[in-house]
Amino acid sequence: MANMSLGGGYSSSMNSAADNLANSGVFLAVAALYKAANGDASYGAVRRWLVSNTVSGVISGDPAGTPNRLLDKRGL
């Protein structure tokens, strides 16, 4: 599982722009895996899959305004 806001494990110090950019990379990588398995999937289908394969409310101590979701790629 990858932390939707942090890309791995949670740390309260990880809230900078660089961390957000790294986290975007995690989602791009998982989106690429999904697209490799489902080559004809549209942007909307990939986005729906990403959102539907997250779990909310599992991160404790996260900064206000973060999504508080974990991405589970095991379904790929």
* Residue with more model confidence, 34 or 5: 34
What SS3 class is residue 18? helix
pTM: 0.61
- The domain spans of the chain are 2-71
CB-based contact 10:51 (threshold 8 Å):
no
Task: Tell me the pLDDT tens digit for each residue of 24-59.
Answer: 777 888 899 999 999 899 999 998 998 899 888 887
